Amino acid sequence: MTAAGVVEVIGVPGLPEVRPGDDVGELIAAHARLQDEDIVVVAQKIVSKAEGRIRSLKVVEPGESALRYAERLQADPRVIQVILDETVRVVRDERVLIVETRQGYVCANAGVDHSNVPGADSVTLLPEDSDASASALRRRLEELTGRRLGLIVADTFGRAWRMGITNVALGVAGLPALVDYRGRPDDFGQELTATLVAVADEVACAAELVMGKTDRLPVAVVRGYRPPAPPGSGRDLIRPPELDLFR
Amino acid sequence: MTAAGVVEVIGVPGLPEVRPGDDVGELIAAHARLQDEDIVVVAQKIVSKAEGRIRSLKVVEPGESALRYAERLQADPRVIQVILDETVRVVRDERVLIVETRQGYVCANAGVDHSNVPGADSVTLLPEDSDASASALRRRLEELTGRRLGLIVADTFGRAWRMGITNVALGVAGLPALVDYRGRPDDFGQELTATLVAVADEVACAAELVMGKTDRLPVAVVRGYRPPAPPGSGRDLIRPPELDLFR
């Protein structure tokens, strides 16, 4: 960023409902006027739908563990079973299931969600590999538009200690996830500490301001942000269990 | 937000080094061209400096507990003592002190920081009451500019489970901290769940993209965001201990 830099966050309206097999890149390219260096932030929900990461609850048989959690949490045992199928470790089971997913995220309900899914009996799952989803979608969009782009697949997660959910970057392609300011001198020449900044999460948060939760605006463009580091991946943002004091 | 809405994030360059007693409102008003409904995001560091929330380590006498932590964490026992003075509960003490501060934040080192402070022997503390700081600064800026404004006092905090720090809203005035989408129907008419969004934290994150850590850009303006809820406070973002599973 130059000192006088301006970052713009632009909602992309008009996208139709996404269905399994849809070409999300084509849908976005048809509705957004992209420029070089734009970062396209795409809601996980439409990526999951296009990838067919939808499960019908009608065919789910809850096991014993799911039935037990469901009773305690007053939840649909079939939904709990789907959550457990995505889970490698239950981190907390009071009030809500906070789990570590197969992808390594720690989040509520393994990201399984039944909002904005057509039909009361279906839920969406997080993408199998959000970085792969982000890379593929970026490649497709670059091919269709001829622009050099960054791409983030984002979802809203809760936090320990703070109320409310915020957008986070699950998949990242073409931009850094983290910028490491450690070791750079600060304004007084001292070495900075604790300044590994999760810029992809911050870009995702900026995008959420125009995406909303009910406006059917699953795509936003962040323009004018030039992160001062080489590209990374969403995996960079996952704290390894051995560095995590809270699971 | 309208569907076609654009949010702009604008850095405010040119601010001088802030000193105790400085009128931060006057400094910002002299360097930013504010419009009605702008949200001004101000780094905690300059608010703390203006408020004199600086401690000289020369006069700090570390107690027994500080000496013990300092040895284990290989840290300056005087800095540890300052951290403990701001702390009501030590949440974790491996590798870094993660504490609950007197204000209720759970964060590393109680927000005590020695970067960007002139003189190697001083540290800054978080404001006593960031909501009061935000309200006072908002009032002053509105008085000087004649504009209706929102104001956030922000700092970068780490997170459980995810790498890197992101900006968070400590003090909030003139805008909501949380927007509650619970109970609003989603695109398919089902009730949304888990959709209490921490919009003030997201605005703070957006601002961080232009603030950087070393660019001496402690102020940014977020323009064009119209949060769909009445004003709140930074306190709304602090998860009460009884609702927190991770302390």
Residue of B161, B180, B190 to mutate, interface with A, max A Cβ within 10 Å: B161
- Angular region, B183: left φ>0, alpha ψ -120 to 50, beta rest: left
Token representation of residue A47: 């990526």
Same-domain check for residues A42 and A103: no
pLDDT at A212: 75
Nearest CA in chain A to B189: A116
pLDDT score, position A214: 59
Candidates A46, A105, A56; CA nearest to A76 is A56
pLDDT at B215 over 70: no
Q: How many domains does chain B have?
A: 2
A233: chain B residues, CB-CB within 8 Å: none
Domain that holds residue B101: 54-123
In a domain, A221, yes or no: yes
> Does residue A73 sit within a domain?
yes
Which residue of B lies nearest to A3 if distances are taken between CA atoms? B13
Sequence letter at residue B105: Y
| Confidence at residue A117, expressed as pLDDT on a 0 to 100 scale | 74
Q: Assess whether B168 and B224 both reside in one domain.
A: yes
For residues B94-115, average pLDDT: 93
Per-residue pLDDT at B38 exceeds 60? yes
Domain co-membership, A100 together with A26: no
Whether A135 and A227 share a structural domain: yes
Average pLDDT over residues B6-27: 95
Q: What pLDDT does residue B187 have? A: 60
The Cα–Cα gap between B109 and B62 comes to 15
Same domain, A64 and A162: no
Contacts of A108 in chain B (CB under 8 A): 194
Of B108, B84, B86, residue with least CA distance to B95: B108
The answer to whether the Cβ–Cβ distance between A205 and B206 falls below 8 Å is: yes
8 Å CB contact of B225 and A209: yes
Task: Assess whether pLDDT exceeds 70 at residue B165.
Answer: yes
**How sure is the predictor about B15, in pLDDT bands with cuts at 50, 70 and 90?**
very high
Averages of pLDDT over runs of 10 residues in chain A (247 residues) are 72 93 98 97 96 95 97 94 97 92 96 78 96 98 98 96 96 96 63 78 97 80 95 96 85
Query: Does the pLDDT value for residue B8 go beyond 80?
Result: yes
- Sign of the Cα torsion A126, A132, A134, A136 reads negative
Q: Are residues A46 and A58 in the same domain?
A: no
How far is it, in rounded angstroms, from Cα A78 to Cα A226?
44
* Report for A185-189, B64-68, B215-219: range of highest mean pLDDT: B64-68
What ipTM did this prediction achieve? 0.94
Structural domain ending residue among the three candidates B123, B139, B168? B123
Same domain? For A137 and A92 the reply is: no
Contact B207, B152 (CB under 8 A): yes
The CATH number of whichever domain residue A170 belongs to comes to: 3.30.1330.100
